[in-house]
Amino acid sequence: MPRQIVFFMTDTTRKDMLGCYGDPRMQTPNLDRLAGQGIRYERAYDCQPVCGPARSALFTGTFPHSNGVVTNNAPLGDNVKTLGQRLHDQGIQAAYTGKWHLDGGDYFGLGVCPDGWDPDYWYDMHVYLEELTEAQRKRSRKSETAYDPDWTEDMTYAHRVSDKAISYVGEHADQDFFLAVSYDEPHGPCICPSPFNTMYEGFRFEDNPAFHDSLEDKPLLQRLWAGDDLAKDPEQLRSDSQMLSLFLGCNSYVDYEIGRVLAHVDAVAPDAMVIFTSDHGDMLGFHRLQAKNAAFYEQITNVPLLIRPAKGHEHNQGVVVHHPASHIDLVPTVLDFFGLPIPKLMEGRSMLSQIEDPSRRINEAVFCEFTRYEVDHDGFGGLQMMRSVTDGRYKLTINLMDTDEFYDLAQDPYEIINRINDSACQQARNHLHDLLLEHMDATRDLYRGYQWAARPWRVDKQPTWQNSGLTRQRENEEYENRQWDYDTGLPMESAVRGKKLYDVKR
């Protein structure tokens, strides 16, 4: 029996935009059915709530601070290998159709297939636009086009991505493969045909405390980001708008397109593992914020994650996992599924044992980060050095140049009350802080330093020149020679070791 994975992802799908996560108004029948056939994760998190950095973790198994994509429109480092490269070099076919956003180009990409992925099926947005006339390209970037009768389903990016995926599955049904199907939808301009373009007219979110958040005791950045919305009546923030209606309609449309591919997978490759997730969510007025940026609220970091196990694990149907999960774990999981060794530089861990036994907990806590939104833009808050950690109950965020945040997600699921200075939370807060500092060291976070440790509320941490006092060299030994020790000029015996300070005597 061939080993096969079909990996679906969308852009800007919030967890609560899938009906299976509890809102029956969301019309996503295909993804809801997928959830019923497998495992639904309630506490899955992205690694940065921005397109490119989020994708960098998804397809390299390393955090943005490790692979170089710390912002949109920054390329992967030259020595960073993608999942496609790793699979291809181990004899597993890999194909990618859809949005990439990891080549350092503009929003649409460079149109060039990266090493390891099948070039016959490469279909980033640059390739799509090249298929259109100049007039059609301009129309493809305007939301109003969704209401044009002549802009039919076959003109949309989602439809053409699906066609590529269907073709690939059909031609490789009897072979081992990993196929990534990456939609730009429902991301703006939210172009979708009838009936999806009017499906959510009049939609309003239910009222909840997040629409009433004054953002007091929160970072200044959030109030600047909120802008005029800070003074709006909460009714306005949650009320219906044409843009919200079109966005949700496009979300249902991409569910329809996923359904087209799933139907073909079920017909010709029914034993395949199927994974679905999104790169990040959208604030949509919650906490008086729009889109996504330098924050770690649940609306943009707590992403949907559905996994339908491969044949032989049908007993895990309709299972819900509440343990924390992370995008960083998906590459190790894929490698493990194909029976391949997990490289030392992977910064996550395989979820395969949890997929086999959903009662297992893989992570004590998971991590998220933010450095910058986009290289090309001078706005969006600019540089914001942030790191976050959650164990599923508590969430700690270090805003290096601003006010830190600590939330009790059990008592305060809407993240309204910032308890960073609450002595009653000291033990839980400091434990997460210690885990975060250990994570920054272990992953060689190039932005680490004493400022992350010596926070105003952490009186037992003092600034120190030496920090942890260790040297940590990279181990990428599947593709590079073992690095050499500065002190000996010989291959290092240990990648992590104590620093040596020199007292040069003349």
Q: What is the CATH number of the domain that holds 460?
A: 3.30.1120
Reported as a single tens digit per residue, the pLDDT across 169-225 is 999 999 999 999 999 999 999 999 999 999 999 999 999 999 999 999 999 999 999
| pLDDT above 70 for 126 | yes
User: Are 45 and 303 contacting, i.e. CB atoms less than 8 angstroms apart?
Assistant: yes
Domain stops at, among 307, 337, 367: 367
The pLDDT value given to residue 502:
58
The pLDDT value given to residue 327:
98
Based on the fold, state whether residues 80 and 197 are members of the same structural domain.
yes
20, 51, 113, 368: the catalytic one is 51
Band (37; pLDDT cuts 50, 70, 90): very high
Based on the fold, state whether residues 48 and 80 are members of the same structural domain.
yes
300, part of any domain: yes
Residues 293, 311: Cα–Cα separation, whole Å: 39
Mean pLDDT across the chain: 96
Q: Quick count: other Cβ atoms within 10 Å of Cβ 356?
A: 13
Based on the fold, state whether residues 313 and 447 are members of the same structural domain.
no
Based on the fold, state whether residues 257 and 348 are members of the same structural domain.
yes
* Residue 250 among the catalytic residues: no
Reported as a single tens digit per residue, the pLDDT across 409-457 is 999 999 999 999 999 999 999 999 999 999 999 999 999 999 999 999 9
Band (312; pLDDT cuts 50, 70, 90): confident
Domain stops at, among 332, 367, 402: 367
First to last CA, the chain: 70
Based on the fold, state whether residues 279 and 344 are members of the same structural domain.
yes
499, part of any domain: no
- pLDDT above 90: percentage of residues in the chain: 94
Residues 112, 114: Cα–Cα separation, whole Å: 6
485, part of any domain: no
Residue in the block written with tokens 């390739």: 127
Residues 420, 457: Cα–Cα separation, whole Å: 7
* Residue 190 among the catalytic residues: no
Based on the fold, state whether residues 194 and 107 are members of the same structural domain.
yes
Based on the fold, state whether residues 93 and 182 are members of the same structural domain.
yes
- pLDDT above 70: percentage of residues in the chain: 98
| pLDDT above 60 for 506 | no
Based on the fold, state whether residues 319 and 437 are members of the same structural domain.
no
70, part of any domain: yes
Residues 214, 211: Cα–Cα separation, whole Å: 9
Q: Which domain holds residue 399?
A: 386-468
Peptide bond into 324 cis (omega under 30): no
373, part of any domain: no
Q: Is the pTM of this model over 0.95?
A: yes
DSSP, collapsed to helix, strand or coil, labels residue 261 as helix
88, 101, 264, 327: the catalytic one is 101
Residues 314, 308: Cα–Cα separation, whole Å: 9
46, part of any domain: yes
Based on the fold, state whether residues 310 and 346 are members of the same structural domain.
yes
| pLDDT above 70 for 504 | no
Based on the fold, state whether residues 342 and 459 are members of the same structural domain.
no
Number of domains in the chain: 2
283, part of any domain: yes
377, part of any domain: no
The pLDDT value given to residue 147:
97
The pLDDT value given to residue 239:
80
Q: What share of the chain is helix, strand, coil (3-state, %, to 5)?
A: 35, 15, 50
